[in-house]
Protein backbone atom coordinates (compact mmCIF):
# COMPACT_ATOMS: atom_id res chain seq x y z
CA UNK A 1 0.00 0.00 0.00
CA UNK A 2 2.85 2.35 0.86
CA UNK A 3 4.08 2.24 -2.71
CA UNK A 4 0.93 4.16 -3.74
CA UNK A 5 2.53 7.23 -2.16
CA UNK A 6 4.79 7.45 -5.18
CA UNK A 7 1.85 8.74 -7.26
CA UNK A 8 0.97 11.85 -5.24
CA UNK A 9 4.70 12.60 -5.00
CA UNK A 10 5.04 12.25 -8.76
CA UNK A 11 1.96 14.38 -9.42
CA UNK A 12 3.27 17.10 -7.10
CA UNK A 13 6.73 17.07 -8.72
CA UNK A 14 5.11 17.12 -12.17
CA UNK A 15 2.86 20.00 -11.15
CA UNK A 16 5.89 21.91 -9.87
CA UNK A 17 7.75 21.29 -13.15
CA UNK A 18 4.77 22.51 -15.22
CA UNK A 19 4.25 25.53 -12.93
CA UNK A 20 7.91 26.53 -13.22
CA UNK A 21 7.66 26.23 -17.00
CA UNK A 22 4.76 28.71 -16.75
CA UNK A 23 7.24 31.38 -15.62
CA UNK A 24 8.74 31.33 -19.10
CA UNK A 25 5.28 32.09 -20.53
CA UNK A 26 5.01 35.16 -18.32
CA UNK A 27 2.87 33.83 -15.45
CA UNK A 28 5.50 34.85 -12.88
CA UNK A 29 3.82 35.22 -9.48
CA UNK A 30 1.18 32.49 -9.59
CA UNK A 31 3.50 29.99 -11.29
CA UNK A 32 6.18 30.52 -8.65
CA UNK A 33 3.73 29.95 -5.81
CA UNK A 34 2.31 26.82 -7.44
CA UNK A 35 5.82 25.54 -8.16
CA UNK A 36 7.02 26.04 -4.60
CA UNK A 37 3.94 24.31 -3.17
CA UNK A 38 4.40 21.41 -5.59
CA UNK A 39 7.98 20.96 -4.39
CA UNK A 40 6.94 21.05 -0.73
CA UNK A 41 3.99 18.66 -1.07
CA UNK A 42 5.93 16.27 -3.32
CA UNK A 43 8.92 16.16 -1.01
CA UNK A 44 6.80 15.56 2.09
CA UNK A 45 4.93 12.78 0.29
CA UNK A 46 8.17 11.19 -0.85
CA UNK A 47 9.47 11.45 2.72
CA UNK A 48 6.41 9.50 3.83
CA UNK A 49 7.10 6.95 1.08
CA UNK A 50 10.69 6.49 2.26
CA UNK A 51 9.55 6.07 5.89
CA UNK A 52 7.02 3.43 4.83
CA UNK A 53 9.75 1.67 2.81
CA UNK A 54 12.10 1.72 5.80
CA UNK A 55 9.42 0.34 8.12
CA UNK A 56 8.31 -2.38 5.69
CA UNK A 57 11.79 -3.59 4.73
CA UNK A 58 13.92 -5.97 6.71
CA UNK A 59 17.18 -4.19 5.99
CA UNK A 60 18.44 -1.26 3.94
CA UNK A 61 15.75 -0.78 1.25
CA UNK A 62 17.73 1.47 -1.10
CA UNK A 63 20.62 -0.83 -1.95
CA UNK A 64 19.45 -1.51 -5.52
CA UNK A 65 20.01 1.03 -8.31
CA UNK A 66 16.30 1.86 -8.35
CA UNK A 67 16.11 2.20 -4.59
CA UNK A 68 19.23 4.38 -4.58
CA UNK A 69 17.67 6.51 -7.32
CA UNK A 70 14.56 6.97 -5.21
CA UNK A 71 16.65 8.14 -2.25
CA UNK A 72 18.79 10.27 -4.54
CA UNK A 73 15.71 12.11 -5.89
CA UNK A 74 14.54 12.78 -2.35
CA UNK A 75 17.96 14.18 -1.44
CA UNK A 76 18.17 16.37 -4.57
CA UNK A 77 14.71 17.84 -4.00
CA UNK A 78 15.48 18.20 -0.29
CA UNK A 79 18.68 20.08 -1.06
CA UNK A 80 16.79 22.32 -3.50
CA UNK A 81 14.07 22.89 -0.92
CA UNK A 82 16.58 24.01 1.69
CA UNK A 83 18.99 25.80 -0.62
CA UNK A 84 17.08 27.46 -3.39
CA UNK A 85 13.31 26.97 -3.31
CA UNK A 86 12.57 30.72 -3.22
CA UNK A 87 11.00 33.05 -5.78
CA UNK A 88 14.49 34.40 -6.56
CA UNK A 89 15.75 30.96 -7.63
CA UNK A 90 12.49 29.84 -9.17
CA UNK A 91 14.11 29.09 -12.51
CA UNK A 92 16.43 26.62 -10.79
CA UNK A 93 13.26 24.67 -10.11
CA UNK A 94 12.78 24.50 -13.85
CA UNK A 95 16.04 22.53 -14.04
CA UNK A 96 15.54 20.42 -10.90
CA UNK A 97 11.87 19.44 -10.88
CA UNK A 98 11.49 17.84 -14.35
CA UNK A 99 14.67 15.87 -13.60
CA UNK A 100 13.26 14.80 -10.22
CA UNK A 101 9.98 13.67 -11.81
CA UNK A 102 11.74 11.66 -14.55
CA UNK A 103 14.15 10.01 -12.10
CA UNK A 104 11.34 9.12 -9.72
CA UNK A 105 9.42 7.46 -12.57
CA UNK A 106 12.58 5.56 -13.44
CA UNK A 107 12.99 4.49 -9.80
CA UNK A 108 9.39 3.35 -9.70
CA UNK A 109 9.76 1.41 -12.98
CA UNK A 110 12.86 -0.29 -11.55
CA UNK A 111 10.99 -1.31 -8.41
CA UNK A 112 12.81 1.11 -6.14
CA UNK A 113 9.71 2.59 -4.52
CA UNK A 114 8.22 -0.60 -3.06
CA UNK A 115 9.02 -2.68 -0.03
CA UNK A 116 11.98 -5.00 -0.57
CA UNK A 117 13.53 -7.78 1.37
CA UNK A 118 16.56 -5.49 1.63
CA UNK A 119 20.14 -6.20 2.38
CA UNK A 120 21.43 -6.18 5.90
CA UNK A 121 24.63 -4.27 5.31
CA UNK A 122 25.20 -2.93 8.77
CA UNK A 123 24.82 0.64 9.92
CA UNK A 124 28.26 1.74 8.68
CA UNK A 125 27.55 0.75 5.11
CA UNK A 126 24.07 2.30 5.26
CA UNK A 127 25.65 5.52 6.50
CA UNK A 128 28.25 5.30 3.74
CA UNK A 129 25.56 4.93 1.05
CA UNK A 130 23.45 7.70 2.57
CA UNK A 131 26.34 10.16 2.72
CA UNK A 132 27.50 9.29 -0.81
CA UNK A 133 24.02 9.82 -2.21
CA UNK A 134 23.62 13.09 -0.28
CA UNK A 135 26.96 14.31 -1.66
CA UNK A 136 25.99 13.40 -5.20
CA UNK A 137 22.60 15.08 -4.76
CA UNK A 138 24.37 18.26 -3.69
CA UNK A 139 26.66 18.08 -6.69
CA UNK A 140 23.61 17.70 -8.94
CA UNK A 141 22.11 20.83 -7.42
CA UNK A 142 25.42 22.62 -7.89
CA UNK A 143 25.32 21.60 -11.56
CA UNK A 144 21.78 22.99 -11.79
CA UNK A 145 22.99 26.34 -10.45
CA UNK A 146 25.95 26.24 -12.84
CA UNK A 147 23.56 25.50 -15.71
CA UNK A 148 21.50 28.52 -14.70
CA UNK A 149 24.72 30.56 -14.70
CA UNK A 150 25.55 29.46 -18.24
CA UNK A 151 22.07 30.36 -19.43
CA UNK A 152 22.12 33.78 -17.78
CA UNK A 153 25.64 34.46 -19.04
CA UNK A 154 24.56 33.53 -22.59
CA UNK A 155 21.57 35.89 -22.38
CA UNK A 156 23.79 38.73 -21.21
CA UNK A 157 26.42 38.03 -23.85
CA UNK A 158 23.81 37.89 -26.61
CA UNK A 159 22.15 41.04 -25.22
CA UNK A 160 18.81 39.30 -24.96
CA UNK A 161 16.23 42.10 -24.73
CA UNK A 162 14.14 40.15 -22.20
CA UNK A 163 17.04 39.92 -19.75
CA UNK A 164 15.37 42.39 -17.39
CA UNK A 165 11.86 41.03 -17.83
CA UNK A 166 12.60 37.39 -17.07
CA UNK A 167 15.11 37.94 -14.29
CA UNK A 168 17.47 35.29 -13.06
CA UNK A 169 19.64 35.63 -9.97
CA UNK A 170 22.77 37.75 -10.58
CA UNK A 171 25.72 36.00 -12.21
CA UNK A 172 28.03 36.51 -9.25
CA UNK A 173 25.45 35.06 -6.85
CA UNK A 174 24.96 32.02 -9.08
CA UNK A 175 28.68 31.41 -9.33
CA UNK A 176 29.24 31.80 -5.60
CA UNK A 177 26.29 29.58 -4.70
CA UNK A 178 27.17 26.82 -7.17
CA UNK A 179 30.76 26.74 -5.90
CA UNK A 180 29.66 26.70 -2.25
CA UNK A 181 27.14 23.94 -2.93
CA UNK A 182 29.87 21.91 -4.62
CA UNK A 183 32.20 22.53 -1.68
CA UNK A 184 29.64 21.42 0.93
CA UNK A 185 28.72 18.40 -1.23
CA UNK A 186 32.38 17.48 -1.57
CA UNK A 187 32.64 17.57 2.22
CA UNK A 188 29.67 15.22 2.54
CA UNK A 189 31.13 12.98 -0.19
CA UNK A 190 34.46 12.93 1.67
CA UNK A 191 32.68 11.89 4.86
CA UNK A 192 30.94 9.11 2.90
CA UNK A 193 34.27 7.89 1.52
CA UNK A 194 35.87 7.95 5.00
CA UNK A 195 32.96 5.96 6.44
CA UNK A 196 33.34 3.49 3.54
CA UNK A 197 37.02 3.13 4.32
CA UNK A 198 36.00 1.92 7.76
CA UNK A 199 34.79 -1.34 6.28
CA UNK A 200 37.55 -1.51 3.67
CA UNK A 201 39.75 -4.56 3.58
CA UNK A 202 42.95 -5.16 1.62
CA UNK A 203 42.10 -6.46 -1.83
CA UNK A 204 38.63 -4.84 -1.86
CA UNK A 205 39.74 -2.00 -4.11
CA UNK A 206 37.62 -2.23 -7.28
CA UNK A 207 36.37 -0.13 -10.21
CA UNK A 208 33.48 1.57 -8.35
CA UNK A 209 35.90 2.74 -5.67
CA UNK A 210 38.34 4.02 -8.26
CA UNK A 211 35.55 5.91 -10.04
CA UNK A 212 34.32 7.40 -6.77
CA UNK A 213 37.82 8.60 -5.90
CA UNK A 214 38.26 10.00 -9.42
CA UNK A 215 35.00 11.97 -9.06
CA UNK A 216 36.16 13.28 -5.69
CA UNK A 217 39.52 14.31 -7.18
CA UNK A 218 37.79 16.01 -10.14
CA UNK A 219 35.65 18.23 -7.91
CA UNK A 220 38.47 18.88 -5.44
CA UNK A 221 40.76 20.01 -8.27
CA UNK A 222 38.04 22.23 -9.73
CA UNK A 223 37.44 23.93 -6.41
CA UNK A 224 41.16 24.37 -5.70
CA UNK A 225 41.60 25.91 -9.14
CA UNK A 226 38.76 28.31 -8.37
CA UNK A 227 40.37 29.38 -5.15
CA UNK A 228 43.99 29.49 -6.23
CA UNK A 229 43.99 29.74 -10.01
CA UNK A 230 41.21 32.20 -10.72
CA UNK A 231 39.02 29.59 -12.41
CA UNK A 232 35.72 31.43 -12.60
CA UNK A 233 32.75 32.25 -14.71
CA UNK A 234 31.84 30.20 -17.73
CA UNK A 235 34.72 27.71 -17.38
CA UNK A 236 33.92 26.92 -13.75
CA UNK A 237 30.21 26.51 -14.52
CA UNK A 238 30.99 24.27 -17.50
CA UNK A 239 33.25 22.07 -15.34
CA UNK A 240 30.55 21.70 -12.67
CA UNK A 241 27.95 20.73 -15.27
CA UNK A 242 30.39 18.35 -16.96
CA UNK A 243 31.25 16.76 -13.60
CA UNK A 244 27.61 16.13 -12.86
CA UNK A 245 27.06 14.65 -16.34
CA UNK A 246 30.03 12.30 -15.81
CA UNK A 247 28.64 11.23 -12.43
CA UNK A 248 25.22 10.57 -13.99
CA UNK A 249 26.72 8.37 -16.72
CA UNK A 250 29.69 6.66 -15.09
CA UNK A 251 28.54 6.00 -11.53
CA UNK A 252 25.41 3.93 -12.33
CA UNK A 253 27.44 1.90 -14.85
CA UNK A 254 30.19 1.05 -12.38
CA UNK A 255 28.01 0.58 -9.29
CA UNK A 256 24.91 -1.12 -10.63
CA UNK A 257 25.88 -2.61 -14.01
CA UNK A 258 26.09 -6.08 -12.53
Residue (167 or 245) nearer to another protein, CB: 167
CB of 171 to another protein, least distance (A): 5
Quickly list H helices, the chain.
6-24, 28-56, 65-83, 90-109, 123-157, 171-198, 207-229, 233-256
Residue (58 or 172) nearer to another protein, CB: 172
Instruction: Choose among 186, 179, 183, 155: nearest CA to 168.
Output: 155
Percent helix / strand / coil, the chain, rounded to 5: 80, 0, 20
Residue (31 or 46) nearer to another protein, CB: 31
CB of 67 to another protein, least distance (A): 40
CB 113, CB 6: distance < 8 Å: yes
CB of 6 to another protein, least distance (A): 37
CB 149, CB 171: distance < 8 Å: yes
Instruction: List residues near another protein by CB under 8 A.
Output: 26, 28-29, 152, 156-157, 159, 161-165, 167-173, 230-235
Instruction: Choose among 176, 67, 191: nearest CA to 117.
Output: 67
CB 122, CB 199: distance < 8 Å: yes
Residue (170 or 252) nearer to another protein, CB: 170
CB of 231 to another protein, least distance (A): 7
CB of 229 to another protein, least distance (A): 9
Residue (171 or 191) nearer to another protein, CB: 171
Q: Is 253 exposed, middle or buried (0-12, 13-18, 19+ CB in 10 A)?
A: exposed
Residue (48 or 238) nearer to another protein, CB: 238
CB 168, CB 91: distance < 8 Å: yes
CB of 91 to another protein, least distance (A): 13
Helix 65-83 vs helix 171-198: angle between axes, to the nearest 10 degrees?
140
Amino acid sequence: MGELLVWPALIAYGEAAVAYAGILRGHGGSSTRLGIWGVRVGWLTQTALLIVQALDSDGFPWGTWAGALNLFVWLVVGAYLIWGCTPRYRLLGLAVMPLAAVLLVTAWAGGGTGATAGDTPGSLLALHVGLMLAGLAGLTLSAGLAGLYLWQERRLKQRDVTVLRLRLPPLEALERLSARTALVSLGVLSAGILVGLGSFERGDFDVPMAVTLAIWAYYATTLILRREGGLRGRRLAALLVLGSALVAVVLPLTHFAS
